[in-house]
Structure 1
Amino acid sequence: MASNTHTTRRAFGCVLEKKDKNGRTIGWMAQYADPKKKRHKVYRQFPTAALAREWLEGEELLVRAYKRGTADWTHPRERDARERARGVLFMDWADEWMDKWGRFKPKSAREPLAPATLRRKRLLLHRVKQVFGMRALEEIGVADVNRWLDTCGLDATPKREAYIMLRAIMRCAVQPPDGRPALLDRSPCMAPIPRRVLSDKSLMVEVSAADAARIKSFMPAYTAVSVNVLLAFGLRIGELCALRVDDFDFDRMVVHIRHSIRRGPDDTGELRLAELKTVGSMDALPIPPQLVPVLREHIDRFTDAPRPGAMLLRPAKSRVMSDRTLRTQLEKAAVKAGRPDVTPHAFRATAISRIIHEGGEIKDAQLFARHTDPLVTVRFYERTRGEQTRRELSELAYGSMFTAPRSRLELEHEYERAQRELARWADRCRSLHTLLEQDTPGGVSANG
């Protein structure tokens, strides 16, 4: 049977005449050996032999430059895709990035971000698109990004988060996760990520018993119990708003932490019970006996109990208490009580720090706080211990120079405190000595 191709050999590659079953020429295919993959060919079809030969001549120059080591060689298919990508607008690529990768948790198997987190991320993306949206990706340079960082007008934390997102968008343009050819040769995001600023959670504000009582006195009656519950269990505000009366087991003297609160898709709609921040946050916490009468009085006066599913905090116009409303109530009460620095998180911080002040170790604080990451507890522990130590040293330094002689009663109190501190460290030494006496994991005794 007659062949439907006719080959014209050249020093570099060849041109094949393609014919149909009737012998009519339908095109010309140029081909040459792939310089990077043995036994692979590179093909391209043309309507005329002249165009095929012209293309081969250009490819020959590229292959020679690659073999001399003066330039890299990429497959024509990849070059074509990159050429098509030229002119892709930032807004189009950013939207595709958000849809395919940005809306999922990092390092997760396609687990979506929480609605509130996703909404905040989309707002930041909108701010970035207002600046770069109508520009082609390859037109955005390092100077453009640096200028935006200097003049964007965002507060420190949103600016940091927006820049981290912009870096991720540009990094994916350089190396698309779906394997397509690169849209950019390099990212214009060369500036370092702005430093993280201290948040209110990092300030280690603590609440005294007198402060707590004053703040509670300025709270609305139906949410005043929040102060007690936050201090007793060290809850996050969303966990408090999600508590139901049924979560309290007064027979076993525990409260079950099962939910937080969340709105619907895109962080819209009514508040509802939702999963906790982390799996490790789910727990059953012991109820302090002193809290029981306070809880029972609140449940009798302000809840729908014994109706199943009755919420501990029952707002007037919705089923679930809004964390924003409760946060506002707590902050206004703190201002009236003369403690404008107290935030809702300060109650959780106080509960955790009391454990540390009373001699608890890192594992005790982590267990109480339900931190899945021990590093979070370690940082908290170091700040609390550091502040306590600095206060003691400050009192010692000042007192040794300016304070009048102490009375016998003051000396007795200080002596008692020192004795308690000594006993605590003695217990610690005994625990360490016991560990030293035990065999090490390698099977070698600590005593030799």
Structure 2
Amino acid sequence: MGETRSHKSGRKFGAVIARKRDDGSVSAWLARYSSPVDGRRVQRSFPDRIRAEAWLYDESMLVELHKRGKQQWVHPTERDRRRCATTMTFNELADWYVQTHRKPDGTTLRGAAKRNLRTDVDHLKQVFGPMKLNQITPDVISAWYFGPHDEGVWVFPRTCQRLKAIMALACSDKFGTGMPLLDSNPFVLPIPPDPEPKSWSVPPLTGGQLAALYESMPEYDRLSVLLAAWAGGMRIGEVCALTVDDFDLEKLTMSVSHSVCRGDTDTGPLTLGPVKSHHSRRVCVLPSMLTPLIRQHIAMRADQSSPYMFQGRQSPILPPTTLSNHFRQARELAGCEQATFRTLRVTHTTLLMQNGGTVREAMDSIGDSTQEVVMRHYTRTVPEHQRQVVNRMAESMVSDSSDLQRVLGMRRDGRPESARLAYAGMEEAGVGGKLDLILAILGDLVAHE
């Protein structure tokens, strides 16, 4: 495809050029001229020569005004961008953001994640919706940022992230116009941190609490608490999605490959959907002591033809809301009122690591690929375990050092030196003296323990 310069008598500004196909026919008309600011070529393509000539004439008027100092010349692309920014509303850009938003891996949002996105953006549309993009200045955003937020302390940081992302979209060419709609992002304030979750102060469950939870749950879904606490620290949607085929009782493994959802629109009947992330697909090790309970549960299911481990009273799949309600009622009887189903995930992670599991094993077991998330959200400090570790550490160092034993006044068998001296003095004491010495020895031993 070639270009042919079109001459016009008396032309003093720019040029109109015909772009021709191989057969000689004209495919487009290019109008060109040099920028009065930096001399670079400025051009536009038109389907016919008349429009090209008209555009070139209008541009010549703007260039002439610039040369006379009457009006600053602005590149046509910049003019188009400013024109678009003066007509596009926040509502339009926000809707496009929701429609095109993707996860980091490129997949679309589904179910609750998509519902939460729409809810967050709706909060923003109530404030900025009808405003033109160029009206949303840093001052306007600042007034909203420091104003009241009835949506809650957890929603506000998310809406800040959404607003910053939407306005960043206007500063890029991703919107489809081939040019940014704004020069810079008007959201210049810091994203507020998430508040500290109340669940962080909830310790992992004890054996007694777990037993009480199990016994207080309905018979048809009580096994869920043991599976979540001992095998994989599953999310509640993952538990409800378990099928009989997910269990291999010969190899003592359980596959976690689905989570319960209501489809892409988060409406309709419960169905099996994907797990939260690729790493959430995992094979978990089952404690051998659970095998009899698992076999018993499978045999006692109401619908033996159903593939699901946990079945609802009114639906083939046990709804997560139903399981959550059962857990909420059981925790009152178990004496752990602050615990949630997520506490079972915390219990699994914390005790797995305290009993010798590595961070990598904990990440693989609960299906989380981020070490920071595992350590920050799913592990807790258990004071009694910490006390035992500190005592074992000190005792191991003392047993290896006669100098430390001498400093602490202890014998090599770990008993206080005062107890040895008391034993030696008993031979010389009377009955009353022996009783005093026995009490002193017991006091020393208790203090040592």
Q: Does 1:56 align with 2:54?
A: no
CA RMSD of aligned residues (A): 3.6
Q: Does 1:114 align with 2:113?
A: no
C-alpha deviation, 1:370, in angstroms: 2.8
Decide whether aligned partners of structure 1 residues 229 and 142 sit closer, same or farther in structure 2, where only a CA change above 3 A counts: same
* Paired residue secondary structure (1:188): coil
C-alpha deviation, 1:287, in angstroms: 2.1
Aligned ranges 1:333-344 → 2 under 5 Å: 333-344=330-341
Decide whether aligned partners of structure 1 residues 17 and 187 sit closer, same or farther in structure 2, where only a CA change above 3 A counts: closer
Q: Distance in 2 between matches of 1:366 and 1:63?
A: 67
Aligned ranges 1:20-35 → 2 under 5 Å: 32-34=33-35
Decide whether aligned partners of structure 1 residues 30 and 369 sit closer, same or farther in structure 2, where only a CA change above 3 A counts: closer
Which residue does the alignment assign to 1:173?
170
Aligned ranges 1:295-306 → 2 under 5 Å: 295-305=294-304
Which residue does the alignment assign to 1:256?
255
Is the 2:230–2:287 contact (alpha carbons within 8 Å) kept by the matching residues of 1?
yes
Letter in 2 for 1:182: P
Aligned ranges 1:420-431 → 2 under 5 Å: none
Q: Does 1:216 align with 2:214?
A: yes
1:241-284 deviations in Å (ceiling 9; x for gaps)? 11112222222222222211111121111111122222222232
Q: Distance in 1 between matches of 2:253 and 2:93?
A: 51
Decide whether aligned partners of structure 1 residues 143 and 409 sit closer, same or farther in structure 2, where only a CA change above 3 A counts: same
Q: Distance in 2 between matches of 1:315 and 1:125?
A: 34
Bigger radius of gyration, 1 or 2? 2
Letter in 2 for 1:262: C
Decide whether aligned partners of structure 1 residues 386 and 407 sit closer, same or farther in structure 2, where only a CA change above 3 A counts: closer
Is the 2:260–2:271 contact (alpha carbons within 8 Å) kept by the matching residues of 1?
yes
C-alpha deviation, 1:156, in angstroms: 1.6
C-alpha deviation, 1:295, in angstroms: 1.8
* Paired residue secondary structure (1:162): helix
Is the 1:204–1:384 contact (alpha carbons within 8 Å) kept by the matching residues of 2?
no
C-alpha deviation, 1:408, in angstroms: 7.3
Q: 1:132 aligns with which of 110, 128, 134?
A: 128
Q: Distance in 2 between matches of 1:52 and 1:357?
A: 75
Which residue does the alignment assign to 1:6?
9
* Paired residue secondary structure (1:285): strand
Which residue does the alignment assign to 1:70?
none
1:141-172 deviations in Å (ceiling 9; x for gaps)? 22322222221312122111111001111111
Unpaired segments of 5 or more residues in structure 1?
19-28, 66-72, 395-403, 415-448
Q: 1:195 aligns with which of 193, 196, 214?
A: 193
C-alpha deviation, 1:229, in angstroms: 1.3
Which residue does the alignment assign to 2:119?
123
Aligned ranges 1:9-408 → 2 under 5 Å: 9=12, 13-14=13-14, 32-34=33-35, 40-42=41-43, 45=52, 53-60=60-67, 75-100=75-100, 102=101, 104-106=102-104, 108-109=105-106, 111-149=107-145, 150-177=147-174, 178=176, 180-233=178-231, 234-305=233-304, 307=305, 309-379=306-376, 383-384=380-381, 389=386
Decide whether aligned partners of structure 1 residues 354 and 342 sit closer, same or farther in structure 2, where only a CA change above 3 A counts: same
Which residue does the alignment assign to 2:423?
none
C-alpha deviation, 1:123, in angstroms: 1.2
Which residue does the alignment assign to 1:427?
none
* Paired residue secondary structure (1:266): coil
Which residue does the alignment assign to 1:425?
none
Which residue does the alignment assign to 2:416?
none
* Paired residue secondary structure (2:284): strand
Decide whether aligned partners of structure 1 residues 222 and 205 sit closer, same or farther in structure 2, where only a CA change above 3 A counts: same
* Paired residue secondary structure (2:260): strand
| More displaced stretch, 223-232 vs 42-51 | 42-51
Fraction of identical pairs, as percent: 27
C-alpha deviation, 1:132, in angstroms: 1.0
Is the 2:254–2:286 contact (alpha carbons within 8 Å) kept by the matching residues of 1?
yes
- Name the TM-score, length of structure 2 as normaliser: 0.73
Is the 1:231–1:350 contact (alpha carbons within 8 Å) kept by the matching residues of 2?
yes
Is the 1:362–1:381 contact (alpha carbons within 8 Å) kept by the matching residues of 2?
no
> Hey, which bits of structure 1, 4+ residues long, moved more than 6 A?
15-18, 35-39, 61-65, 390-394
Letter in 2 for 1:40: R
Count residues in correspondence.
376
C-alpha deviation, 1:119, in angstroms: 1.0
Decide whether aligned partners of structure 1 residues 187 and 352 sit closer, same or farther in structure 2, where only a CA change above 3 A counts: same
Decide whether aligned partners of structure 1 residues 42 and 270 sit closer, same or farther in structure 2, where only a CA change above 3 A counts: same
Letter in 1 for 2:372: L
Is the 1:243–1:257 contact (alpha carbons within 8 Å) kept by the matching residues of 2?
yes
Letter in 2 for 1:99: Q
Is the 1:88–1:137 contact (alpha carbons within 8 Å) kept by the matching residues of 2?
yes
Q: Distance in 2 between matches of 1:63 and 1:386?
A: 77
- Name the TM-score, length of structure 1 as normaliser: 0.73
Decide whether aligned partners of structure 1 residues 329 and 126 sit closer, same or farther in structure 2, where only a CA change above 3 A counts: same
Q: Distance in 1 between matches of 2:344 and 2:55?
A: 80
